[in-house]
Amino acid sequence: MSILIKSGTIVNSSSSYVGDIEIDKGKIIAIGLELPTKKGMTVIDATNKYVIPGIIDVHTHVDHFGGKQKTEDNFFEGTKSAAFGGTTTIIDFAIQAGNEDTESAIARRKSEAKNLACIDYSLHAHLKETSSGSDPKLKIQSIIEEGIPTFKIFTTYRDAGFMIDDYNCLEYMKILSENNGLLMVHAENDAICESITNKLIETDTASVINYPKSRPIIAEVEAISKIILFAKKTDVSVYFVHVTTEEGLKLIENAQKSGMKIFAETCTHYLVLNEEVYKRDDGYKFIMAPPLRKENDIDYLWEGIRNRSISVVSSDHCAYSSDKKVKGEHNFTEVSPGLQGIEMLLPLVYSEGVCKNRITINDLVRILCENPAEIFGLKNTKGKISLGYDADLVIINPSLEWEMTDTNHNMMTDFNPYSGYKVKGRPEYVLSNGKMIVDNFEFKGEKGQGRFIKRYLH
C-alpha cells in the first residue's frame, strides 16, 4: 500500500520542517517538498499537523500476573489501545512465573503475544536467583543471540517471587558486561519496604493513605546507589526503570558525569500526578510501585528530561480495573501494584510537556522515539523519520482540545487515572509498517499484524 503524507510538520529529535513523506511496502521511501501523487496512492493532508515517528513504549505489562491479580488486557487489547495513543512498538516483559526459567518465560510470553499483537513488539528477559539450572553464561548468550539483549531485575517484590539477591545480581552483571547486554533495574530496597509494610499491617494502618510511607524515598535511593556501585565494579550498562525521586536521579546524574553507562527512565504518572491522590476517596486506584511523589520530585524529573539525564519516558502500563484495585483500600498488600497508561503516554507528554513549555516537540521525539530505539536495539529501523526506516508514523492534530474521561479510552479498565484532565493534541492517524491502524481516530488495525522484533545492541 502506497501512502503520501502531505505538508505535515515532520519532527525528529533535532529538526522540524514542513514536507511530504512517501511510503511504500512498509518503509519510508521519499521525504521532500511537493512529492508527486502517484496512481493508486492514499493521500493524507497533514497541513498544520505534526508528523512524528511512532512511539516506542519500552516498559509495558500487558497480560500480566502481578502476584495477586491479573491485568485486564491481552496482547490484542493492550496493543490496540497503544495504537490509539500513537504507540507502534512495545517492549514488554517475560517475567518468570513461580519456578519457571528465563527461557520458558520468554517462550510463553511470545506465544501469548503471537497472533494477537496489532503493533510490533519485543520482550525483555527476567533474571532472578531461581532461574533455570542451565549454565548462566550460556543462557544469557543464547537469549542475546535470539534477539533479546535486555534483562530485567527487581530488587524488590520478594513476596511476588520476582526479586533477585545481591550475589546473583552481581554474577549476572559480570556476564551481561562480557556479552554486551543491558541490565534493567526496578530499584527499591525490599527489606525497608517489607518491614514498614509489616508494621503498618500489625497496627491496622495499611490503608491506602499510608501507602507512600511504605515505599519511601530512601528505598529507591539505597537501591540505585547499590546498583551503581555494582555497575562500577562490573562495568555493565544499566537502565533504571521508573525513577521517581530527585535524590535518586541526582545519584544517576553523578554516575553519568563520571562516564558510566547509566540510563534513567521515568513514567508518565510520575511526571503528572503527585502523592496527594492517596488522600482521595479513590486513592486505591493509584497503588503502584514506586508510589507517586511530591512536586519537587516532579519538577526535577522534567528538568532531567531537558538536561538529558533522563533518556526515556515510558508508560509502565499495568491495567487493573477498580474492582481489583479497591481490594487494597484498607490493606494495600491485598493488590498487585500497577497503573494503566499505554494509551496516554504520548497525549500526556505532549499536553503536559510540550503545550506547557516544559519540553519541546523535539525533546518529545527524543524521549519517546529516538532514545528508546537507540538504547534498546531498534536503531536504523525505528525511532526516526528517515529514508528506509519502518513507516511507523503518527499524525497529531495539535490544536484538538479534549477531556480524558473514565470511558473515552480503550484500556480495558473501567477508569482512567487522568479522568477530568483537559488536554491538547491527539493522534489522528497512526501507521504501523506502512499500514493505517488508526484512521481519522478510528481503529483499522488487525489482530496479529504486529511482528516480534529481534533486537541487537551495536
Among Zn ion, ligand URP, none, partner that 144 touches (CB below 5 to 8 angstroms by kind): none
Q: Which residues are registered as beta bridge partners of 87?
A: 55
**Considering the rule CB under 6 A, would residue 90 count as an interface residue with ligand URP?**
no
How many Å is the maximal CA-CA distance in the chain? 73
Q: Is 447 exposed, middle or buried (0-12, 13-18, 19+ CB in 10 A)?
A: middle
Nearer to ligand URP among residue 58 and residue 385 (C-beta): 58
Rule CB under 6 A: say whether 126 interacts with ligand URP.
no
Nearer Cβ to ligand URP (289/313): 289
Q: Taking the mean position of all CA atoms in its chain, how far away is CA 338?
A: 13
Closest Cα partner for 287 from 235, 331, 257?
331
- Which residues, other chains included, contact 113 with Cβ-Cβ below 8 Å and sequence gap of 6+? 62, 63, 75, 92, 121, 123, 450, 452
Backbone phi, psi, residue 125, to 5°: -80, 160
Q: Which of 13, 22, 51, 61 binds ligand URP (CB under 6 A)?
A: 61
* Min CB(267)–ligand URP separation in Å: 8
Site membership for ligand URP, residue 153 (CB under 6 A): no
In the list 92, 246, 316, 390, the residue contacting ligand URP (rule: CB under 6 A) is 316
d(C-alpha 395, C-alpha 23), whole Å? 14
Q: Which does 349 bind (CB under 5 to 8 A by kind): ligand URP, Zn ion, none?
A: none
Q: With CA atoms as reference, report the closest residue to 456 among 143, 33, 99.
A: 143
Q: Is 222 in the site for ligand URP (CB under 6 A)?
A: no
What nine digits make up the cell of 93?
Answer: 516483559
CB of 23: closest distance to Zn ion in angstroms? 33
Indicate the residue among 186 and 285 with the shorter CB distance to Zn ion. Answer: 186
Q: Is 28 in the site for ligand URP (CB under 6 A)?
A: no
Q: Which is nearer to ligand URP, 65 or 441 (CB)?
A: 65
- The partner residues of 313 in beta bridges, in order of sequence, read 266
Which CB sits closer to ligand URP, 86 or 328?
A: 328
For the bound state, the minimum distance from the C-beta of residue 48 to Zn ion, rounded and expressed in Å, comes to: 36
Q: Is 288 in the site for ligand URP (CB under 6 A)?
A: yes
Smallest gap from Cβ 43 to ligand URP, in A, equals 42
**Residue 288 binding: pick among ligand URP, Zn ion, none (C-beta 5-8 Å cut-off by kind):** ligand URP
- Tell me if 347 sits within 8 A of 100, measured CB to CB: no
Cell numbers linked to 452: 516480534
Report, in Å, the least distance between residue 456 CB and ligand URP: 25
Question: Residues 53, 149, 338, 377: which binds ligand URP (CB under 6 A)?
Answer: 338
62 touches ligand URP (CB under 6 A): no
Where are the alpha helices (H) located in 85-159, listed in sequence order? 102-113, 136-145
Q: What is the binding site for Zn ion (CB under 5 A)?
A: 186, 316
What backbone phi and psi angles, to 5 degrees, belong to 43? -110, 130
- Which of 211, 416, 413 lies closest to 330 in space, CA to CA? 211
Summarize as ranges the residues that interact with ligand URP (CB under 6 A).
61, 186, 288-289, 316, 318, 337-338
